[in-house]
Amino acid sequence: MSVSANNLDACVVGVDFGTLSGRALVVRVRDGAELGTAVHEYGHGVMDATLAATGEPLPPDWALQDPGDYCDVLRHAVPEAVASAGIDPAQVIGIGTDFTACTVLPALADGTPLCQVPELAGRPHAYPKLWKHHAAQPQADRINALAHERGERWIARYGGKISSEWEFAKALQLLEEDPETYQRASRWIEAADWIIWQLAGAETRNACTAGYKGIWQDGRYPSREFLAALDPRFAGFAADKLGHDIRPLGARAGALTAQAAGWTGLPGGIAVAVGNVDAHVTPPAAAAIEPGQMVAIMGTSTCHVMNGDTLAEVPGMCGVVDGGIVAGRWGFEAGQSGVGDIFAWFAEHAVPPDYTGEAARRGVSVHELLSAEAAAQPAGAHGLIALDWLNGNRSVLVDHHLSGAIVGLTLATRAPDIYRALVESTAFGTRVIMDSFRSSGVPVTELVAAGGLLKNEFVMQVYADVTRLPLSLIISEQGPALGSAIHAAVAAGAYPDVPAAAAAMGGRHEAVYRPDPASAGTYDRMYAEYLLLHDYFGRGANEVMHRLRALRDEVLRRKEDGSGEPPGGAVPAATAGLGRPERMARGGVWGGRPPEASTYGGRS
């Protein structure tokens, strides 16, 4: 408090490390005013096809990054943001960051990434594994099976399933596939913590990633016995390579080193906050950290984060962590693996030329046109129910082999009908999550939207109507960077704690959308239908989605092996030309946020 009281012009810098770039934001400490910002794209982007250092192809489902790119953000985006703010760098009293997670790397004892050790630079396993590196599924499966077999208490804190994206699965993959590099790694560290090490010159670990991604529960990691049962060589992993000094969010990690001061142009010695995660740093930016305030960061996917006063184990949540969002409270996280991604898929791959042409003619996006047309319908008029699982289901079914469905199609169904049904399906998915929280004794009383989708008024109204909750909107367009700045202000001592800083610097527009009673009544009936289908397809009554996926994989494998079906009887070979669209989904861009900013829930 003293710092800001003494200095009306004090500023902090928040840096948001996304999937493809990093953004720096200069924020005034006393009121959260956003004075300047800058973005720096990673030079290596995401390495998912080849390793840049060698040109070596990477296996499927791999996703690596180059840690030098993170430092480049400090070198470029931070000074540019300060310059664009028009302030004197001396006004800056602290810096905070947030990162994608779990993005994790092996390092030497001094923090040097193994990929920067010359003899290891050609080894893929020496590089940071990005959150969406999905090649550790076999390891995750074994971790989950063993945890249930041994009755590990922590598994219930993660809805019953550890993700292949997280620290232990990725580390076990490293050990099994490249034991030499595993041995060389003194540290296995989240990029969220590694970047702080670069700024403050000393290793720290933050409560958020330790809890959500590192299985740190009740003051400890999974036991040596558990790890040894996975692989005897893995027994010492947690004890030896992870950090055990877990610091609360908003804590001071240290002082900005001379080297980092040189990179950033900021004064040496200013406060550096401990690391954080993009989704989890957002509630303070929205000043929505009270129990019952569910913050939904809605982009290509949605991440739901909320504080609670007491521990509850909610079936199907991603995790519950003591101090995982704000120190002193239990932080709950849930997610939907496809939201804006689904709308983007539809707009790109299923909307006929009469609509796309009309959108072009009016100078609006296809989303804007479809939203307007869909909004003109009363709820229930399209006669459709969709299941929003085109990218799998994260919460509450935790099953990425589920797929999407649409029921109720007729020859009179048109694109805005399906678009509306897809939007509604994601809202029903959010309501399922809320209901799961409530039935586990965790009330949800307000929905606070952040992320790119909040600009779509139609989508927001549907969410208010479906959830029957007042829907508030975060004010900042740079929620994560503002959240990081808030933590910087606390680390600098300008506020006694994150809640105080959030109250002064963050903010939301309250209850911008309120449920319309008639629509909400119709949606109650449609939600009942959604639930019936949700449970039928998602809880084992008919595992058709799993079987169809398995059949697809089998057929495609057979085709690749050259042992596939002959093209079949009299069917002519396809006329050559239009290449088959890649089977990998492209990340959709939504609203005004940069692409990576909207990948949120999918990665944390």
Residues 74-133 that bind its own copies (CB under 8 A): none
Nearer to its own copies, 263 or 513 (CB): 513
Tokens 């400090």 sit on residue: 74
Q: What is the C-alpha end-to-end distance of the chain, expressed in Å?
A: 32
CB-CB contact of 393 with 399 (8 Å): yes
Residue from 167, 203, 373, 424 in contact with its own copies (CB under 8 A): 373
From the list 31-39, 88-96, 171-179, 521-529, the region that binds its own copies by CB under 8 A is 521-529
- Report d(CA 383, CA 377) in Å as an integer: 11
- Report d(CA 203, CA 250) in Å as an integer: 16
Dihedral sign from CA coordinates of 434, 436, 438, 442: negative
- Report d(CA 343, CA 416) in Å as an integer: 11
Counting contacts by CB under 8 A, is residue 531 touching its own copies? no
CB of 531 to its own copies, least distance (A): 11
Lay out the site mask for its own copies across 481-520 (x = CB under 8 A, - = otherwise). Answer: -------------------------------xxxxx-xx-
Residue from 62, 197, 345, 428 in contact with its own copies (CB under 8 A): 345
From the list 171-179, 436-444, 559-567, 593-601, the region that binds its own copies by CB under 8 A is 559-567
CB of 424 to its own copies, least distance (A): 12
Give every CB contact of residue 564 below 8 A, 6+ residues apart in sequence. 555, 558
The residue type found at 385 is I
Residue from 414, 455, 497, 594 in contact with its own copies (CB under 8 A): 414
The CA-CA-CA angle for residues 274, 30, 72, to 5°, reads: 40
- Report d(CA 234, CA 30) in Å as an integer: 48
Nearer to its own copies, 145 or 407 (CB): 407
From the list 124-132, 193-201, 489-497, 572-580, the region that binds its own copies by CB under 8 A is 572-580
Best CA proximity match to 387, nearest among 418, 352, 351: 418
Q: Residue 329 has which token pair?
A: 């409270």
Tokens 């560290």 sit on residue: 189
Nearer to its own copies, 309 or 354 (CB): 354
Counting contacts by CB under 8 A, is residue 384 touching its own copies? yes
Lay out the site mask for its own copies across 185-214 (x = CB under 8 A, - = otherwise). Answer: ------------------------------
Nearer to its own copies, 90 or 551 (CB): 551
CB-CB contact of 601 with 393 (8 Å): no
Counting contacts by CB under 8 A, is residue 60 touching its own copies? no
- Please return the burial class of 356, using the count of CB atoms within 10 Å of its CB with bins 0-12, 13-18 and 19+: middle
Give every CB contact of residue 501 below 8 A, 6+ residues apart in sequence. 250, 284, 486, 487, 489, 490, 494, 495
Contacts with its own copies: how many residues (CB under 8 A)?
A: 101
Residue from 286, 342, 396, 597 in contact with its own copies (CB under 8 A): 342
Nearer to its own copies, 86 or 572 (CB): 572
Residue from 176, 313, 497, 529 in contact with its own copies (CB under 8 A): 529
CB of 536 to its own copies, least distance (A): 7
Instruction: Give residues 281-340 in contact with its own copies (rule: CB under 8 A).
Output: 338
CB-CB contact of 14 with 58 (8 Å): no
Counting contacts by CB under 8 A, is residue 461 touching its own copies? yes
CB of 598 to its own copies, least distance (A): 14
